[in-house]
Structure 1
Amino acid sequence: MSLWVDRYRPKKLSELSYHLEQACDLAELVKSDDFPHLLVHGPSGAGKRTRIHCVLRELYGAGAERLHLDKKSLVTPSNRKIEIDTVSSNYHIEINPGSGAHGGRSADARCSARPSSYYGEIFYDLSSDSLL
């Protein structure tokens, strides 16, 4: 049994009903041959995850929705071990830097001085070894 919000969440970019200009921009990126790296950010509840899952579904089909939960261990240059929760499919990996030890500060330190809760997930394309 799934939650109502999950059952009726948009699955295609064309089903999104807000920030239509962003949805059109993402649809153009999906259609183009040159898909850049994306770092998605915004406040909680802004639709980051929904938009990215729509992009993944349009790029890879329904296989992008078969998700696996896992823990990844990273060792920092100062030899600290950080465990980060990941969600992945055969096509991508979602990494939330805030899920690691110390609130994700070690993982975020190289990216920005902003807190990790401000960032959305980072998506890694397994088929081309590149961040989405």
Structure 2
Amino acid sequence: IGLPQLVIRTLIKAKKLALKSSIKYHQTIEGKCALSFLLGFYDGDGTLLKGKHARISNSNKIFLDEVKIVFRLHNRVRVTLNPEKSLVTEIFYMTHYSLNIDIETFRLMLDAFKGSMERKRPMKS
């Protein structure tokens, strides 16, 4: 399963509305909703890097590939192997994928919804 179709359709609608008017997609309600979805995912499965950069992680590469395409992110989806311990203390490796979110998109996400997790927001200078 990839990115929910509702998010994709909402973002497409936001971009169409922006083309018809003098505003940018992220200023529309639809754009803010799509960015808020991405922010919620980041709050749950993301990491703040060096106090200012965002990375989201998931075991579903298709999901991250679709996020990259739909939100036009420039970074590639990376693969990482994370050691996990089983109930019998054997170590096995889970394949996880990560995607760094560019600073501009990260700022738009943070502006779309002010109520996200404070510890996942960049440090104020």
Q: Quick check: TM above 0.5?
A: no
Higher relative contact order (CA 8 A, sep 6+): 2
Which TM-score applies when normalising by structure 2? 0.31
Q: TM-score, normalised by structure 1?
A: 0.30
The structure where helix makes up a greater share of residues is 2
